[in-house]
Structure 1
C-alpha cells in the first residue's frame, strides 16, 4: 500500500518506521521538516497514494483534509484539538474514506472499553465519585488532550449522574456532584499517562493506561490506514476496534 504521511514530526517519523516495517511504500509531506519528500499537498505529492495519515496541528488539519479530499484520497487523522469543528470536518471529508481518533493506541482503546463498562456499574453506586487525570510531555499544546476528552465523554455517556466535564481550576468553590473533573499535567517527556479514579469513603478503584513511547500510537495509525484502504465514509477508531475485537473472538 502507498501511504502519505502529512507532518514529519516525532509521530510522523514513528509512523514512517512502522509503515516501512509492514512493507508499505511511504512518502512524507512537510513544509519545513528535513527528510520530507514534498513540502505541500498536491496532485503530484499524492500521485498513486492509497491513504494519507495526518499528524499535524489543530490549526492546519481541516485545511489539509480539504486538500486531500479534493484529490479523492482517503485520510486518517490523529491530530487532536479540532473536535469543535467536527461538522466542518465531516463536510470536508464527504466522498472519501476518513478515520479519526484522539488516540490510535490499540491498548488505549481497550482501556476505553474498560472505562465504559466500569462507569456503567459505578452509575448505580452513588457512593463512588469519578475523576480523570492525564499527564503528557511539556511540548503538548492542547489541554485536556484528545484522549482525556474521549475518556470524559465515555464517562458522561456511561454514568448519567455526571452531566458535564469541568477542566478548569477550582478557584473558590468545590466541584458539583454532577461535574466530572478532568485534570491535566504537563511534565518532561511523558508520552502519555491516563488515570480514571472511582473513589468512595471505603476504597478507590483506579484504572491506568501508561504509554511507553510513540510506537503504539504509530502502529494503530498504520492499522487504521490498512483498514481504510478502498473504503468510503466517515469512521472512527471504534470501527477499527470492532474489526480487531471480531478477529480475537
Structure 2
C-alpha cells in the first residue's frame, strides 16, 4: 500500500523503514512546510506535533484517506475529529501508544486496578520516563493508564503535583535516549505491587502503527488498537 507519513522525525523514519520492510511504499514524507497531495496515498500515518495533528487528520478525512494518528497533546480536538470522521464516513484510529506490548499492558493495568479497588491500604502512583525530545508531559500513554485506573477505582484525577488522596501522582521524567518506560506502583505499609513496561527502541511503536494502517484499509469508522488486536 501507499503510505503518507505526516511528520518525518525520528518516529517517521522508523515507520518508513518498517513499512518498507513489510513491502509498502512511502509516497509522502511531510514536515510542517511540505506541500503534498494526500490523495496520492492509500492511508496516512500521523506522528507530527500537537499543533498540526488535527489539521493533518481533518485533511485526510475530508479527502477520504484513512488516517492513523499517534500524536499526543492535541486531544482537546479529538471529539471534533471523531465527529468529522462520522460525517465523512471515513476511517480513523488514534492511540496514545501503538506498541503491541503497551496495548497488552493497558489491559493488564485495567485488571489490576479492578483487583486493587476496595483495598484502601494501598496507594497508587505512576512513573514515566521518556527521551528529552518528547514535547508533552505526562506522556499520552501515562494519561491513558491513569484514566483507566480512574475508571476502575475510586480515584478521581491524576496530577503532576502533590496529590490529594483521590489523585494519582504521575512522576514524569525526561532522560536522554529513553524510548519509553511506564511503571505503576501500589504501595502499602506491608508490601508493594508493581507492573512495568519498558520499550527498548522505537520499533515496537512503529510496527504497531504500520499494523494498524494495514488493518484499517477498507474499513469505515472510528477504531482503537483494541479493535486492531482484537483484545479488551
TM superposition score normalised by structure 1:
0.88
Q: Which runs of 5+ in 2 are unaligned?
A: none
**What pairs up with 1:99-178 in 2 under 5 angstroms?**
99-159=93-153, 161-167=154-160, 169-170=161-162, 175-178=163-166
Alignment of 1:1-249 (within 5 A): 1-31=1-31, 39-42=34-37, 45-47=38-40, 49-94=41-86, 95-159=89-153, 161-167=154-160, 169-170=161-162, 175-242=163-230, 245=231
Q: Deviations over 1:71-106 (max 9, x none)?
A: 110000011111122211213333210001000000
**2-side partners of 1:93 and 1:179: how far apart?**
34
What 5-or-longer segments of structure 1 have no aligned partner? 34-38
* Alignment correspondent of 1:36: none
* Matches of 1:74 and 1:226, distance apart in 2: 10
1:41, 1:68 within 8 Å by CA — same for their partners in 2? no
Equivalent-residue separation in structure 1 for 2:105 and 2:61 (angstroms): 32
Is the Cα–Cα contact under 8 Å of residues 7 and 32 in structure 2 kept in the other structure?
no
CA separation in 2, counterparts of 1:20 and 1:200? Answer: 49
After TM superposition, give the deviation of residue 32 of structure 1 in Å: 6.4
Deviations 1:29-84 (A, max 9, x none): 32469xxxxx2342xx532x221100001100101112111211000001111112
> How far off its partner does 1:180 sit?
1.0
Alignment length (residue pairs): 230
Distance 2:12 2:99 in 1: 15
Q: Contact between 2:28 and 2:36, CA under 8 Å: does it hold in 1? A: no
8 Å contact 1:7–1:28 — kept in the other structure? Answer: no
Give the whole-Å Cα distance in 1 for the aligned partners of 2:8 and 2:221: 26
TM normalised by structure 2 equals 0.94
Extract structure 1 runs of 4+ deviating beyond 6 A: none
Residue aligned with 1:59, SS: helix
What secondary structure, in the 3-state scheme, does the structure 1 residue paired with 2:226 have?
helix
SS of match in other structure, 1:93? helix
